[in-house]
Amino acid sequence: MPRVRFADQNVEVEVASGSSILQAAQRAGAPEGSACGGVCACSTCHVYVEQGGDLLSEASEDEEDILDKAFDVKMSSRLGCQAKLERDGLVVVRISKESLDAYYNEHPAEERPGAAR
């Protein structure tokens, strides 16, 4: 089965083939933003794929257009809502600062780790 590890959160989850990184984050309770609801209309689910990129679907032109508007884009950048796990194996991702900020803005009742009390 495909697995996704969220490096900074130290959580890993198994998901069905065809699931997106965003769906894996939601299942694992990892704080990945999704302001548009996962329809490729924003960049709040921006992640960096550190391992296993070859197990994911190819980035579409629409995804690349949205990533052009994201902050701190790298060669390993993907939108979590669009990157689908197509093969078994481990994909390791790091959630971008932009995505973390969006998540905690979307979920104000959740306390951000390391936040001052």
Mean pLDDT of 58-74: 97
Residue 116 falls within a domain, yes or no? no
Q: How many domains does the chain have?
A: 1
Residue 65 falls within a domain, yes or no? yes
CA pair distance 10, 83, nearest whole angstrom: 20
Per the document, the length of the chain is 117
- CATH at 62: 3.10.20.30
Residue 112 falls within a domain, yes or no? no
Residue 14 falls within a domain, yes or no? yes
Residue 32 falls within a domain, yes or no? yes
pLDDT for the residue 116: 57
Q: How confident is the model at residue 113 (pLDDT cuts 50, 70, 90)?
A: confident
> What tokens were used for 43?
């960049």
Residue 115 falls within a domain, yes or no? no
- Asked if pLDDT for residue 44 goes beyond 90, the answer is yes
- Asked if pLDDT for residue 16 goes beyond 60, the answer is yes
DSSP 3-state percent helix, strand, coil across the chain (nearest 5) = 25, 25, 50
pLDDT in tens, 96-112: 999 999 999 999 999 88
Residue 114 falls within a domain, yes or no? no
- Asked if pLDDT for residue 117 goes beyond 80, the answer is no
Mean of per-residue pLDDT scores for the chain: 96
Query: In this structure, what DSSP letter does residue 84 have?
Result: B
Per the structure, the complete domain to which residue 11 belongs is given by 2-106
The answer to whether 84 touches 19, Cβ cutoff 8 Å, is yes
pTM over 0.75: yes
Residue 19 falls within a domain, yes or no? yes
